[in-house]
Amino acid sequence: MPHATLTLKPGREKSVNHRHPWIFSGAIAHVDGNPAPGETVRVAAPNGESLALAAYSPQSSIRARIWTWNPREIINADFFRARIARAHLARAGYATPRGAYRLLHGESDGTPGLIVDQYADTVVMQCLSWGAEFWRDTLASLLADLPGVGRVFERSDADVRELEGLAPRVGPVTGDAPPPVLEMVENGLSFGVDVVHGHKTGFYLDQRANRQWVREMSAGREVLNCFAYTGAFTVYALAGGAESVLSIDSSGEALARGKENVALNALPTDKAEWLEGDVFRELRTLRDRARSFDLIVLDPPKFAATASQAEKAARGYKDINLLALKLLRPGGLLFTFSCSGGISAELFEKIVAGAALDAGAEAQIVGRMSQGGDHPVALNFPEGAYLKGLVLLKQ
């Protein structure tokens, strides 16, 4: 069946030729045919030359997401089977019986709008674009056929679906419903995960290597873990021999899971303190009480999804980093992160530098952090590098 054709404006074929997978609405001259949402369209240069095949999204500003730059390829189950198999092979080092890792990382794995995480025998999929939505049943069936997969569960409830004009959807796709708490193992530590209601797909898998770094630097230190969620950094710090860990989060339910994770690893519960509250407010309270710490983790939620939100987000990042630097003792370490796509690594570093200046603190960057290798960044899609972090040593 012939594809509808999306023809680009003069000069707008450059990004396609450079293999960037997004085509914005402003780059399109006209669409010939009447493609349904998610349907495959042919992408053509102004002279009619076929450039790529893409999934059409009539409502989003990203009007099409490219599946392949080979216009002779066929987008069908075999196409996706090959993409999944390639990603699965690349993650072989992460695939342990009780382990957890990201199997498909959207555009960087050639599957735009599709995120797939695996927790032991449970695969959690997120269809975040019309293309992924269009092929949802096919994708779920292919994922269910992977070795070691017992069920496929859907968590297509991220805010970005609204930009596509898609309603949220959560529930089992193949197999039975997951248990209330799935147990996974990461770097020898155990964690209970709620894939049905938890953040993202249940756990922040992208922080694996960074958590291990905190573990290696925690011995004998008094630690403050901000935006602690279910206490993963807390568990790592205690496993590394921290003298104490204060964990702050706005969710009492998440902190309760954190307590369970500490107990699950037979770590000293008397060294873990849990505080439910707004992190910004609690940091100011700690400052006013002249509290201080040897190691602080700032892992806030996304403050800016897009560049247009960067200015407001910058104020939030500066505020928490300024307060953290005031609370950090000389010789202490600050592990500070941003997962906001609208904040570049360069801008984040400038924000943190400004926070240090206003705090009257001298600090050195002793490390830079990013997402793990199971969250790859395609060279043609730098937007995939969403997680950025700095390790600061306060003088």
Say if CB 52 and CB 65 are below 8 A apart: no
- What are the pLDDT digits (tens) for 137-168? 999 999 999 999 999 999 999 999 999 999 99
Token representation of residue 385: 């590098």
Indicate the pTM of the whole model: 0.94
Residues whose CB falls within 8 Å of the CB of residue 350, separated by 6 or more in sequence, listed in order:
none
Distance CA 283, CA 201 (A): 28
Average pLDDT score, the chain: 96
List residues with catalytic annotation.
Answer: 339
- What are the pLDDT digits (tens) for 194-223? 999 999 999 999 999 999 999 999 999 999
Distance CA 233, CA 152 (A): 28
Name beta bridge partners: 32. Answer: 5
Q: What is the DSSP string of 159-172?
A: THHHHHT---EEEE
- What are the pLDDT digits (tens) for 284-314? 999 999 999 999 999 998 886 666 677 778 8
Backbone angles phi, psi at 208, to 5 degrees: -50, -55
Where do the domains of the chain lie, and which CATH numbers do they carry? 4-68 (2.30.130.10), 77-180 (3.30.750.80), 204-394 (3.40.50.150)
Token representation of residue 189: 């530590």
- The reported pLDDT for the residue numbered 310 is 75
Confidence category of residue 266, pLDDT binned at 50, 70, 90: very high
- The reported pLDDT for the residue numbered 388 is 96
What percent of the chain is predicted at pLDDT more than 90?
93
Distance CA 333, CA 344 (A): 22
Instruction: Please compute, for residue 288, the number of CA atoms within 13 A of its CA located in the half-sphere on the CB side.
Output: 6
Average pLDDT over residues 112-136: 98
Kindly tell me if the per-residue pLDDT of 232 is higher than 90. yes
What percent of the chain is predicted at pLDDT more than 70?
98
The one-letter amino acid code at 11 reads G
Lowest mean pLDDT among 274-283, 303-312, 366-375: 303-312
Average pLDDT over residues 350-379: 97
- The reported pLDDT for the residue numbered 177 is 94
Kindly tell me if the per-residue pLDDT of 1 is higher than 60. no
Residues whose CB falls within 8 Å of the CB of residue 187, separated by 6 or more in sequence, listed in order:
208, 211, 212, 215, 236
- What are the pLDDT digits (tens) for 29-59? 999 999 999 999 999 999 999 999 999 999 9
- The reported pLDDT for the residue numbered 244 is 98
